[in-house]
Amino acid sequence: KNGSVEKWECSYNIYNNKEEEKNKKSIEKLQVEKYAKKCKFKSKEFYSILDLKIDKDNKIELLKIFKRTENYFESKNDSKANTNQSKSEIKKKELSRMLNETKCKLESEGYNSDQLKTQIQKVYEQYKHKPHFIIENNKYNDLRKITEKLKKSV
């Protein structure tokens, strides 16, 4: 007791204010750490931001900026890998490779190579804008139908 008032009841008590401030700071620190964990950073450099002696809102803003720059550099690296070829070009190459394989199979079975070449070229022109129908031959029957059609026509 401090006079007629209990110690924890006094609003001007310095000890109570310090303890509340410490609790508030620890809660804010945990909130910032939880936010940083949610961001799923690729590098560990964000720990230096957590150690700064600034308020919670500014730390979160810095973490947002850091994540944006990390995403920017990641997208730059991905785009450099695919600048030479787009997905459609890759699929077209895969289509021509698969058609050449079927052509070789049919030639080994004894079919005329000149006629096969012209027929396969027509098929390529037909499917070059939608090559996934032939590439994903386990999902679609187009490649099987084309080979049967080639066997009948040649």
| pLDDT tens per residue across span 132-154 | 888 888 888 888 888 888 888 87
Alpha carbons within 13 A on the beta-carbon side of 25: 10
* pLDDT bucket at 58, cuts 50 / 70 / 90: very high
Mean pLDDT, residues 47-57 = 89
* pLDDT bucket at 27, cuts 50 / 70 / 90: very high
Write the CB contacts of 94 (distance below 8 Å, at least 6 apart in sequence).
131, 135
Residue 18 has pLDDT above 80, yes or no: no
User: Residue 64: what pLDDT?
Assistant: 94
CA separation for the pair 154, 150 (Å, rounded): 6
Q: Cβ(109)–Cβ(150) under 8 Å?
A: no
CA separation for the pair 142, 135 (Å, rounded): 9
Mean pLDDT, residues 32-46 = 89
| pLDDT tens per residue across span 59-95 | 999 999 999 999 998 888 766 655 556 788 888 889 9
Q: Which residue has the tokens 């059609």?
A: 149
CA separation for the pair 64, 74 (Å, rounded): 15
**Residue 5: strand, helix, or coil:** strand
Tell whether pTM > 0.85. Answer: no
Q: Which residue has the tokens 């204010």?
A: 17
Q: Which residue has the tokens 């590098």?
A: 43
Share of the chain above pLDDT 70, in %: 84
User: Residue 3: what pLDDT?
Assistant: 58
* pLDDT bucket at 1, cuts 50 / 70 / 90: very low
